[in-house]
Amino acid sequence: MTHHSTVGSTEKVRARRRGSRKLLAVAIAAIAIAALGACSTGGAAPAKTVAHGCGHGATNLTFWGWPAGYNLAVSEFNKTHPDTCVKLENAGASTAEYVKLSDAIKAGSGAPDVATIEYFELPSFEITHSLVDLSKYGVSSVKTNEAPVAWSQVTQGSAQYAMPVDLGPLALFYNAKEFKDNGLTVPTTWSDFATAAATLHAKNPKLGMTNFDPESTQDVLALMQEYNAFPFTYTGGSTIGINFTGTAEMAFANYWQGLISKQLVTTAGDFSPQQWANLDSGANAARLSPAWGPVGMQLSIKNTIGNWVTAQMPQTTAGGQLSGNWGGSSLAVVAGTKHAKQAAEFVKWFGGSADAWKILSGPVAGAFPAYVPLLNDSTFQARTLKITGTTTPNTVFAQAAQHMVDPQWPPIMTAAATQWTSTFAGVTKGTETLPQAFTTYQAQLVAYAKAQGFTVTTN
Amino acid sequence: MSRRAKRQATELVPAHLYGLRRGTTPVLTALCLLFAIFVLAPLVWLLINATKNQAYVYGSFGFWFAGPFRLFQNIAALGQDISGAGIFVDWLRNTLVYAVLGAVGATILSALAGYGFARFRFRGANALFFLVMATLLVPITSLALPLFLVYAKVGLVNSIWGMILPSTVSVVGIYLMRTYIEASVPQDLIEAARMDGASELRIFLRIAMPLSVPGLVTVLLITVVAVWNNYFLPLIIFSKNSLYPLTVGLSSVSAAAESGTKADLVPVLITGGLVTVLPLIALFLLLERYFRAGALQGSLTG
């Protein structure tokens, strides 16, 4: 090898010199860019945080949150509350934020004063004593202003661990034109729903009634609530109930597997391009949609604008009014904060005041309230969207918000969701059935919970 | 015969002289073409869909233009915080800073370490080198929590140095530089320089480094790409979106686009993806010559 490189002709040396000169140029350019970047980083960073109306001597609160439009509500709070200055930071959405939050709590530094936490994740933070009990700060007086399902998810006995913000009650969102063209009436029970799906499919095998994504944990668990088949029980402490193989749960699994096997429903991923294309082409005549769904859907379709009408979810028993909850989040005050009182005041305002909701339900944030005065507000209920034509989805969703089961989330939802995706992938592929996946998942989750030191009940 | 034609004639050696059977070349060409399509198709898709609005991204053929031409609005949206997740332009600037400082640092350190391993005999040299190599085997995910706890102690959480400092260590870079210097900086030359009284630093800077330019550029490129694409480290250490690099920023826009707001986020995400890959492509085209030379050298002697 020495031999090879000592034969360097003059030409080679010259080429190398040219090379190194060019490299130098690149390096200089790089350093210049770096310097430029460094300067602007230093200059721009403080301006990023929302800090309007923050006077000298105001108490500073750090608030982690990701939903759109929260910055506007924070600005409004700072403007109207000169003694407190809230700085909003986006530390990632959902699980990304929870990982950071629990890391920061373990490290004992870097945790915010207030954090956005979805309802299902609250018990995981409660059990590690990471959240401040707000009942000590007079926040519980807002109880009568919150939808019962939201209230039950933020409380454990007399302790209140978070302030509810938004909710995602389910309703049936259907393509009225496609229903009419195929002579379908709006199904009020699940058995009607299956019959309608069969009728539609018989007319045109390309048409499916709706989409069911077996791999979407929160979607399936919301549908299970609505089916009165929620598999978890938990009331704090070290005992968890897990029951995916009970009568109601298995009936749910068999019902949907029946529709999947006969190809009466599609199994595209939630929010995948395929799902939007199916809704817009008629391959899906309906969507089992959470209240925040239509808002996101309106920009993703173009052919069926104006056709979408909202109705109550099909029921397990005729005359029922039950709905399930998919999504929504709360604001929790993180233990270790030096300003619990001010933080409590902030979260109370954020989730439970007309001023905040004017912004949160506005065009940028588009959140669906757990805040009862707004749910009952006639202007709110009368809102229309371009895709819903002259119909008013909020009327139905607001009604649904008052008729929901209280899901008791176990403090193991992060692991449960991770395991779910891998266990249920086979249902989408057709290599296993939904009841089989339920049975497997039951065993996996019970084993996991026991390994974590929980006492597990299975009935 | 023109010079160009002559050159072509000498370069085009008939395939059968290589021992290839007749017909093999078209098959290989076709395979390469297929691979090229496989690699380029996503880029073409990005380019085309960056011109659409959300409904047309979902509802029209992916490999042709449709709907209103929205490219400029989509690009303009990159400068605004429309998702609540942050501003793309900030992330682009952050990524540039992290990549340039990290990669330049990694190249310097790799050159120093590689030169040391290649041209100095010292006690424990092999053991040390294997220790360096062995760190390649530790999965970074298993280090997440300890890394964060240490970072929190020394104040590197939410600091740009928390991103840049670890990026200046590149095990692959050290390995490449060692191999490259062994091949292209003759021991005799170093000995001769020592005889003439050159200091070790001078030998390194004036003899070893000029002979290693293709190797240096290769390491620079590899580390720029590594920092550019690094997702895990910034995800752990940054909780302020104004510090995010492109990878974490785009994934937060993606999360925002999924849960559905009123903003037209998907086309912005696509446009952002396009803008993210362009600088890397430009860098490769610019430095391709050195990169090829460096990579080949490594492969012959490694």
Single-letter amino acid, residue B28:
L
CB contact under 8 A, B96 and A34: yes
Q: How far apart are the CA of A269 and the nearest CA of chain B, in angstroms? A: 11
> Considering CB atoms only, which of A2, A5, A69 is closest to B84?
A69
Which residues in chain A have Cβ-Cβ distances shorter than 8 Å to B61?
Answer: none
**Enclosing H/E stretch for A156:** strand A155-156
Position A374 in a domain: no
Q: What is the CATH number of the domain that holds A295?
A: 3.40.190.10
Position A223 in a domain: yes
For residue A28, give its domain range.
12-48
> Considering CB atoms only, which of A19, A37, A281 is closest to B213?
A19
B280/B112: higher pLDDT: B112
> Considering CB atoms only, which of A93, A103, A303 is closest to B145?
A103
Predicted local confidence at residue B80, as pLDDT: 87
User: Is the model's pLDDT at A133 over the cut of 90?
Assistant: yes
Per-residue pLDDT reduced to its tens digit, A201-226: 999 999 999 999 999 999 999 999 99
Residues A301 and A414 in one domain: yes
- What average pLDDT does chain A have? 88
Residues A193 and A149 in one domain: no
A27: CB partners within 8 A, 6+ apart:
B104
d(CA A420, CA B280): 37
pLDDT bracket for residue B10 (50, 70, 90): low
Residues A74 and A102 in one domain: yes
CB contact under 8 A, B213 and A295: no
Per-residue pLDDT reduced to its tens digit, A220-239: 999 999 999 999 999 989 99
**Three-class secondary structure of residue A457 per DSSP:** strand
Mean pLDDT calculated for residue range A31-54:
42
Residues A174 and A130 in one domain: no
Residues A115 and A179 in one domain: no
Predicted local confidence at residue A443, as pLDDT: 97
Position A233 in a domain: yes
Find, in chain A, the residue whose alpha carbon is nearest to that of B153: A107
Find, in chain A, the residue whose alpha carbon is nearest to that of B265: A299
CB contact under 8 A, A40 and B93: yes
As given in the structure block, the two tokens for residue A102 are: 């629990």
Which residues in chain B have Cβ-Cβ distances shorter than 8 Å to A66?
Answer: 84-85, 252, 255-256
Predicted local confidence at residue B241, as pLDDT: 86
d(CA A256, CA A434): 8
pLDDT bracket for residue A34 (50, 70, 90): very low
Residues A216 and A297 in one domain: yes
Q: How many percent of chain B have pLDDT more than 90?
A: 58
Q: How far apart are the CA of A13 and the nearest CA of chain B, in angstroms? A: 9
Q: How far apart are the CA of A289 and the nearest CA of chain B, in angstroms? A: 12
Q: Exposed, middle or buried, A27 (CB in 10 Å: 0-12/13-18/19+)?
A: middle
Q: Which of A78, A109, A104, A106 is nearest to A92 (CA)?
A: A104
Residues A158 and A180 in one domain: no
> Considering CB atoms only, which of B85, B217, B239 is closest to A100?
B239
Residues A300 and A212 in one domain: yes
Which residues in chain A have Cβ-Cβ distances shorter than 8 Å to B164?
Answer: none
A366: CB partners within 8 A, 6+ apart:
A68, A69, A292, A295, B261, B262
As given in the structure block, the two tokens for residue B87 are: 């501003």
Residues A391 and A296 in one domain: yes
Residues A35 and A175 in one domain: no
pLDDT bracket for residue A296 (50, 70, 90): confident
Position A373 in a domain: no
Which residues in chain A have Cβ-Cβ distances shorter than 8 Å to B80?
Answer: none
Residues A359 and A422 in one domain: no
pLDDT bracket for residue B286 (50, 70, 90): confident
Predicted local confidence at residue B145, as pLDDT: 82
Residues A340 and A396 in one domain: no
Mean pLDDT calculated for residue range B192-196:
93
Per-residue pLDDT reduced to its tens digit, A247-294: 999 999 999 999 999 999 999 999 888 899 999 999 999 999 999 988
Q: How many percent of chain A have pLDDT more than 70?
A: 88
List of domains in chain B: 13-41 (no CATH), 88-301 (1.10.3720.10)
Q: Which of A154, A152, A293 is nearest to A210 (CA)?
A: A293
d(CA A395, CA B179): 71
- What average pLDDT does chain B have? 87
Per-residue pLDDT reduced to its tens digit, A383-405: 999 999 999 999 999 999 999 99
- How many independent structural domains does chain A possess? 3
Q: How far apart are the CA of A296 and the nearest CA of chain B, in angstroms? A: 4
Per-residue pLDDT reduced to its tens digit, B221-244: 999 999 999 998 998 889 888 999
B293/A381: higher pLDDT: A381
Q: How far apart are the CA of A169 and the nearest CA of chain B, in angstroms? A: 15
